[in-house]
């Protein structure tokens, strides 16, 4: 999928779930595409941004979801 198709698919997905405007700018969608995020990830980020979470925090939260409890153990040992 090229960049243009990715953006189109993101817009289609957002429209399907009721968004009349994208909460993400084209530049943000291009960033997600170039970093290898899926269309589903872009939708998740868009939902967070729509709920007034910053774009940077929303992208960071995608990585947080991948962490298990064992990943936090080192942080609690400090």
Please state, rounded to an integer, the average pLDDT across all residues of the chain.
Answer: 87
Q: Tokens at residue 32, please? A: 């997600």
Residue extents of the structural domains in the chain: 3-77
Q: Tokens at residue 18, please? A: 């009721």
pTM of the model: 0.78
Average pLDDT of the residues in 15-42: 95
Q: Is 25 helix (H, G, I), strand (E, B) or coil?
A: coil
* pLDDT of residue 29 exceeding 90: yes
Q: Supply angle C-alpha 21, 58, 45, rounded to 5.
A: 40
The distance of Cα 18 from the centroid of its chain, to the nearest Å, equals 17
Report the pLDDT value the prediction gives residue 52, as an integer from 0 to 100: 95
* pLDDT of residue 9 exceeding 90: yes
């Amino acid at each position: 999928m090229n960049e243009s198709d990715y953006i189109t698919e993101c817009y289609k997905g957002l429209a399907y779930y009721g968004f009349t405007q994208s909460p993400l700018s084209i530049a943000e969608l291009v960033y997600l595409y170039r970093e290898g995020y899926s269309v589903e990830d872009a939708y998740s980020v868009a939902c967070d941004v729509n709920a007034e979470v910053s774009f940077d925090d929303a992208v960071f939260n995608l990585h947080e979801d991948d962490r298990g409890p064992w990943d936090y153990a080192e942080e609690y040992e400090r």
